[in-house]
Amino acid sequence: MSLQNTETVTQTDTGQAGKPGKDGVHRRTNVRWKLFVLLLILVAVNYIDRGSISVALPIIQKEFNLAPELVGLLLSAFFWTYALMQIPVGWLIDRFGPRKVVTASCIGWGAATAASGLAGGFLSMFIARLGIGVTEAGVMPAGGKLNAIWMHRKERGRGATILDAGAPLGAGLGGIIITWLIASTGSWRYSFIIAGIATVVMGIAVWWYIRDNPRKHPGVSEAEAAYIEASHAEEDAEAAKEGSKGKRALLPYLKFRSFWAMCFGWLGFNGVFYGLLTWGPLYLAQAKGFDLKTIGWSTFVIFGAGFVGEILGGTIADKWRAAGGSANLVMRTLLGISSVVVVGGLVGVTVVADPITAVVLLSVVLFFLRWVGLFWSIPSILGGRTNAGVLGGAMNFSGNIAGFVTPIVVGLIVGATGSYTWALLYFVGSAVIMGASVLTLNYGKRLPV
C-alpha cells in the first residue's frame, strides 16, 4: 500500500485539500492510511516499552535476585491494571473521543516507563509496571474506535491489522533496540529512561495529527470525507433495518453469543501472544542457551514474522471481501487456518531440541497467530461507531485476563517442573480456545442493541 497514491473520484471538492489535478479529475486524499501508519508506529512503541522488561529480565532477575515465581508476578503486574482499565477507558473514548485519550495515554506511559528505570528492587519495579498498565490502557480501544470512524467498511480488515501489527513489530524491534541501548549505555536503567522520553515525544505527534472526525483534519479532501461518510450511512441504514438503536452501553451485549466469542477469542489469542512476549526471552536463554545478543535477534525474527503475517492477513481479508466473499466465509476460513497452524506449531516446539528449529517454528506460529489481529475490526462490526470504544475495551479486558494470568501460571510451572514443556502446552490450550471462538463468532451482523 503506497501512501502517495491518490484515488480518483467524480464529485467536486470544496474548501479542503485534494484539489483537481491537471487532468481536471478530482482526487481523494489518503489521510486515513497515513493516520493508521502513525497508529502502527504508536502501538510498536507501546510494545517496545511494555516488552522491554522481558528483554532485560535476565539482567534484572540477577540484580534483584528473583525466583521464577517472583519473575512471573513481576511480568504480570502490567496486565493487572491494564486489564482493569479497559472497560472504563473504552467508555471515556466513546464519551470524549480517542484523540484526547490516546494523547494522555502516551504521555502517562512514557513517564511511567522512565520511572521504571529508577526502580531499586522488586516492589518499586512492580509499582512502576502497574503504572505503565494504567496509562497504556487507552491505546488499542482508541485504535478500534478510530477504525470505525476513519476507515471505509471495505478497508477495516487492513485498518485493524495495520493497527495491531504494531504489537509484533514493537516486540521484534524492542528486542534489538533495548539490547542495543543496554549495550550502548551500559545499563538497563538508562535504556528504560530513554524509551520513556521517546514515548512522551510520540504523544505530541499523536495530538498534532489525529482527529476524532475526518472532516476536522486539515489534510482530508471533501472527496475522502464523503467516501468515509457514505460507508457510515450504509452501515447506519442496515443497522436501522436490523433494529439497532445505537445506544451507548455495554450490558445489553452480554446476552449475545458473538460478544462472548469475541471476548474468549481474544483471551485465547493473548494467552499465546503474551506468554511468548513475556517468557519468550527467558525461554530462549534458559532452555536454548542463548546470550543477550542472540535473544535480541531471535526475538526480532520471531515477532517480525508476526508483523509480516498480520499485514498479509488483513490484505487477504479485504481483497477476498472485495471479490465477493461473505464476512463469515472470509473470517472463519482465515482465522480457522490460523488456529490450526498455531496449535500444530506450538506442539512442535515442545518436542524439538534444536534451538534454530525452535526459533523457526515460533516464527511460523507468530506469522499465523497475528492474523487474529483482524479482531480489531469486530467492535465496529458488532457495535458500530457508537459503541466501538466500549466493545473494544471489553474485548481487550478479556484478552488481558490472559495477560496477567499467563505470566504467573508459567512462572509457577517453570518453578515447579524446572522445564518449559508444560508451559508450552498451556499455550496450546489457549490456542484451542481461540480456535473454537473464531469459528463461533458471527462476523456479518451488527448486534441489535
Contact by Cβ (8 Å): 68, 57: no
Instruction: Read off the pLDDT of residues 38-57 as tens digits, 9 standing for 90 and up.
Output: 999 998 888 887 767 777 88
pLDDT at site 99: 94
Alpha helices in 65-97 (DSSP H): 68-84, 86-96
Pull the grid cell for residue 35: 493516520
pLDDT at site 178: 81
DSSP one-letter string for 186-218: S-HHHHHHHHHHHHHHHHHHHHHH--SSGGGST
Each residue's pLDDT, cut to its tens digit, for the chain (449 residues) gives: 333 343 444 443 334 444 554 444 458 899 999 999 999 999 888 888 776 777 788 888 888 988 888 888 887 888 888 888 988 888 898 889 999 999 999 999 899 999 988 988 899 999 998 999 999 888 888 988 898 899 988 888 898 889 888 888 887 787 778 888 888 888 889 988 998 898 899 899 999 999 999 999 999 999 999 999 998 888 778 777 765 565 667 788 999 999 999 999 999 999 999 888 878 877 888 888 888 778 778 888 998 899 999 999 999 998 998 899 999 999 999 999 999 999 999 999 989 888 899 999 999 999 999 999 899 889 888 887 778 778 888 898 898 888 778 888 988 898 888 888 899 999 999 999 999 999 999 998 888 87
Ramachandran region of residue 13, left (φ > 0), alpha (ψ -120 to 50) or beta? beta
pLDDT at site 12: 38
pLDDT at site 174: 76
Contact by Cβ (8 Å): 391, 398: no
Least Cα distance to 167 among 91, 282, 276, 58 occurs for: 276
Contact by Cβ (8 Å): 67, 258: no
Q: Residue 192 and residue 17: Cα distance in Å, rounded?
A: 40
pLDDT at site 319: 92
pLDDT at site 181: 85
Least Cα distance to 80 among 143, 164, 137 occurs for: 137
pTM, whole model, 2 decimals? 0.74
Least Cα distance to 213 among 300, 97, 357, 354 occurs for: 97
Pull the grid cell for residue 257: 453469543
Q: Residue 129 and residue 75: Cα distance in Å, rounded?
A: 8
Pull the grid cell for residue 45: 512503541
pLDDT at site 69: 81
pLDDT at site 61: 87
Task: Count other Cβ atoms within 10 Å, centred on residue 200.
Answer: 16
- How many angstroms separate the first and last alpha carbons of the chain? 36
CA 28 from centroid of its chain's CA atoms: 28
Q: Residue 108 and residue 398: Cα distance in Å, rounded?
A: 23
pLDDT at site 242: 63
Q: Residue 401 and residue 35: Cα distance in Å, rounded?
A: 29
Cβ burial 391-429 (10 Å sphere, 16+ → b, else e): bbbbbbbbbbbbbbbbbbbbbbbbeeeeebeebbebbbe
Task: State the burial class of residue 2 (Cβ atoms within 10 Å of its Cβ: 0-12, 13-18, 19+).
Answer: exposed
Residue pointed to by grid coordinates 471505509: 152
Contact by Cβ (8 Å): 429, 413: no
Domains of the chain, first to last = 30-440 (1.20.1250.20)
Q: Residue 267 and residue 265: Cα distance in Å, rounded?
A: 5
**Greatest Cα-to-Cα distance within the chain, rounded to the nearest angstrom:** 72
Residue pointed to by grid coordinates 511480568: 75
Contact by Cβ (8 Å): 395, 266: yes
Beta bridge partners of 7: 28
Residue pointed to by grid coordinates 551500559: 186
Contact by Cβ (8 Å): 267, 402: yes
Beta bridge partners of 28: 7
Instruction: Read off the pLDDT of residues 109-122 as tens digits, 9 standing for 90 and up.
Output: 899 999 988 988 89
Task: State the burial class of residue 85 (Cβ atoms within 10 Å of its Cβ: 0-12, 13-18, 19+).
Answer: buried
pLDDT at site 342: 97
